[in-house]
Every structure is written in C-alpha cells, then in structure tokens.
Amino acid sequence: MKTGIHPNYRDVNVVCACGNTFKTRSTYKNDVLHLEICSKCHPFFTGKQKLIDSAGRVERFRRKYAGVNKAEAAPAATKTTSSS
C-alpha cells in the first residue's frame, strides 16, 4: 500500500436517533457517527409506516395547500392577491 495517500480508516460507533448503536469501520472524521434512521427503525425493515418529519415540512405543506381543492372547485371566485 502506498503511504500518505490513504485516509484514516478506523472503528466508528454509529448511534441512531432510535437508540440503536452498532460498530463499523469507516474513514469518518469522528469516533461517533449520528444517524437519523438505521436498519432497525427504517420502515422498510420494520414494516411499519413512520413519518420522518424532523423540520415540520409536512405540516407546512398541508397548511400551504389546505385551500387548493376548494380553489379548483371555483377557480374564478377564489383568486386572492397576497402582496403583504
């Protein structure tokens, strides 16, 4: 192996947001790698539906498009100009 060109490959502890931890080997810069999802809690492996919404983006989307269906029913009447 040529020296000086390979990144530092070492043991890394992986910590998931669900509480699961495991060890792997990686060139990751820290000793602990934090995950939001892993194979223990991902819906594909658990078979359960889980909404991953850390920043409230789904809620924002629902609020933004709450009146869209009503607007489609009467497109001419519900044209609002929100300049403020």
According to the binding rule CB under 5 A, does residue 33 interact with Zn ion?
no
Smallest distance, Å, CB 17 to Zn ion? 6
Q: Which two tokens stand for residue 57?
A: 């983006």
* Amino acid found at 82: S
Smallest distance, Å, CB 50 to Zn ion? 10
- From CA 22, how far away is CA 54, in angstroms rounded? 23
Residue from 15, 33, 38, 71 touching Zn ion (CB under 5 A): that is 38
Q: What is the dihedral of CA 62, 64, 66, 70, to 10 degrees?
A: -150
According to the binding rule CB under 5 A, does residue 41 interact with Zn ion?
yes
Closest CB to Zn ion among residues 38, 71 = 38
Closest CB to Zn ion among residues 13, 78 = 13
CA distances from 48 to 38, 41, 51, 56 (A): 14, 9, 10, 20
Where on the chain is the footprint of Zn ion (CB under 5 A)? 16, 18, 20, 38, 40-41
